[in-house]
Amino acid sequence: MQNTIILKESREKSLLRHHPWVFSKALENEDLKLDRGTIVTVVSHEGAFLGYGVYSPKSQIRVRMLSFDENTKINDELIDSRIKNACDLRKNLIARGNDGVRLVSSEGDFLPGLIVDKYNEFIVISISSSCMEIFYDVICNTFKELYPEASLYERSDTKSRLKEGLSERCGVIFGKEPPEVIYVKENNEIYMPVEIMHGHKTGAYLDQRQSRLHAKSLSKNARVLNCFSYTGGFGLWALKGGAKSVDNIDVSSLALNAAKTGVAFNHLDPGRCHFIKEDVFAFLRKQVEAGIKYDLVILDPPKFAENASNLKRACRGYQDINRLGLKLVAKGGRLLTFSCSGLVDSNLFQKIIADAALEAGVEASVITTLRQDDDHVVSLPCPETFYLKGLEVAVR
């Protein structure tokens, strides 16, 4: 059959469970001469129908699945309906006083490689896969229909896009260009600085919304250390919660400047916070050597494990930084620690923190677990979509 992907023997198990990825090593007919973005039918080694997806010859994920129903038509109407369903799912979150919301969360919304975030009157899209690239026009037109007063800006500049053989693309799709920094209301209380054009991801980390609110509850009269602070989100909430002092540490001057403007914009006390441009590992070592203690230490590092080949090194990195962080927590204090590496699952992450506590020579207990916020939905068949794990750890 034309445009048919045949799997090797016994490689269909994940697709029978509706996992949306087909890796190159699973393909029987890898010598296909198909163009990037071709819609394909995937069948088992025995020829049984498994689903429809989109082919990408340069990516390790050769096919991203869009349906496991033989009667489904893969067309613009399918993508339009899935986008509208995803946006409808977020209405309650917006109603609770959040002007920064993820409207589409890739595989979590059955739209592999599509991220769409809304910041006030700006909608930012990021397309990282050939699967969604072929539906570019319908994606834009659907958001024009849903949010006619909004401006649409593109941030398709991820590493994943390059792995797909796609070039980077950024800029205004329609409407106006966003300013360098805008402020979006979070949990109906704090205005968060967002850098749409030049910031990380689409401009902010919306997945930590509830964890930032949790940090507020731990900050009364606390000495707070906010590591990898970026634009200072955790620091803003700590100040709002009554922190005695907040040290924001990041290597980016631009991010720290945005953090400073966030303090002023929210009318918080600038005298209670410091902005330190330094490598976090180096800063932590110096603080440990100096015998400094904090009541609340927040570790929210970037992804350490980009792929399976560097997982062992990433685990060592997480262990090292948490060992240093735990040494800085005063007795009775708290560590909020996170991993956004999808390859590091919850059990592995807890083991890493346990080993870090042992190395740090502290007795510690997990008080609660934290995770990505509700708009970063998790697909049940795709556990990789549950990527952000967090622990509140008490030093006793």
The whole-model pTM stands at: 0.95
Residue 161, domain CATH: 3.30.750.80
Mean pLDDT score, 244-259: 96
Do both 167 and 246 map to the same domain? no
Measure the CA–CA gap between 311 and 364, rounded to whole angstroms. Answer: 25
Angstrom CA distances, 307 to 130, 312, 352, stand at 20, 10, 18
Pair (62, 83) in one structural domain: no
What is the reported pLDDT for 1?
A: 58
Dihedral sign computed on CA atoms, order 68, 72, 77, 81: negative
Q: Is residue 331 part of a domain?
A: yes
User: Do 215 and 341 sit in the same domain of this protein?
Assistant: yes
- Asked if residue 51 and residue 15 are part of one domain, the reply reads yes
Query: Is residue 286 scored above 70 in pLDDT?
Result: yes
Give pLDDT tens digits for 176-225.
999 999 999 999 999 999 999 999 999 999 999 999 999 999 999 999 99
The yes-or-no verdict on residue 94 having pLDDT over 90 is no
Across the chain, mean pLDDT equals: 96
pLDDT in tens, 306-338: 888 889 999 999 999 999 999 999 999 999 999
Domain contains 189: no
Within a domain: 9: yes
Rg (C-alpha) for the chain, rounded Å, is: 22
Indicate whether 347 and 212 sit together in one domain. yes
Give the residue-averaged pLDDT of 368-390: 96
Whether 235 and 292 map to the same domain: the answer is: yes
Closest to 106 (Cα-Cα) out of 126, 136, 124: 126
Confidence of residue 346 (pLDDT cuts 50, 70, 90): very high
Residues 222 and 266 in one domain: yes
Digit-coded pLDDT (tens) for 188-199: 999 999 999 999
Q: Confidence band (pLDDT; 50, 70, 90) for 29? A: confident
Residue 246 belongs to domain with CATH number: 3.40.50.150
Q: What is the model's pLDDT at position 9?
A: 95
In the chain, the DSSP E strands lie at: 4-6, 21-23, 39-43, 49-55, 61-67, 100-105, 114-119, 122-127, 151-156, 169-174, 182-186, 190-194, 223-227, 245-250, 273-277, 294-299, 329-339, 364-371, 389-395
Cross-strand bridge partners of residue 227: 249, 299
Name, in order, each residue with C-beta under 8 angstroms of 35's C-beta and a sequence gap of 6 or more: 55
At 14, give phi and psi (nearest 5°): -65, -35
Sheet (strand 389-395) strand order: 273-277, 245-250, 223-227, 294-299, 329-339, 389-395, 364-371
Average pLDDT, stretch 36-63? 96
Q: Is residue 187 part of a domain?
A: no
Task: Note the pLDDT of residue 32.
Answer: 78
Q: Is residue 63 part of a domain?
A: yes
Provide φ and ψ at 169, rounded to 5°: -150, 120
Other residues' Cβ atoms within 10 Å of the Cβ of residue 290? 9
Number of domains in the chain: 3
CA separation for the pair 227, 234 (Å, rounded): 9
**pLDDT at residue 88 greater than cutoff 70:** yes
Whose CA is closest to 181, among 111, 241, 97, 122? 122
* DSSP secondary structure of 72-105: ---SHHHHHHHHHHHHHHTHHHHHTT-SEEEEEE
Give the residue, 30 or 233, on which the prediction is more confident.
233
Residues 294 and 268 in one domain: yes
Whether residue 236 is found in the same domain as residue 374: yes
Per-residue pLDDT band at 30 (split at 50, 70, 90): confident
pLDDT for 33 equals 85
DSSP strand pairing (294-299 vs 329-339): parallel
Rounded to an integer, what is the distance from CA 37 to the centroid of its chain? 25
> What is the predicted pLDDT for the residue at 305?
84
Q: Exposed e or buried b for every residue in 80-98, given b needs 16+ CB within 10 A?
A: bebbeebbebbeebeeeeb
Q: Which of 114, 101, 9 minimizes the C-alpha distance to 54? A: 114
- Tell me, what's the pLDDT at 239? 98
Lowest model confidence (mean pLDDT) among 85-99, 117-131, 378-392:
85-99
User: Does residue 31 surpass a pLDDT of 80?
Assistant: no
Residue 273's DSSP bridge partners are: 246
Q: Quick check: 351 pLDDT over 90?
A: yes
Q: What is the mean pLDDT of residues 64-71?
A: 98
Residues 226, 346, single domain; the answer is yes
Q: Which two tokens stand for residue 112?
A: 């592999």
Share above pLDDT 90 across residues of the chain, in percent, rounded to a whole number: 93
In a shared domain, residues 209 and 345: yes
Q: State the pLDDT at residue 307.
A: 82
User: Do residue 272 and residue 339 come from a single domain?
Assistant: yes
Contact yes or no for 149/179 (Cβ under 8 A): no
Domain with 18 in it: 4-67
Q: Provide mean pLDDT across the span 164-178.
A: 96
* Mean pLDDT to the nearest integer, 63-73: 97
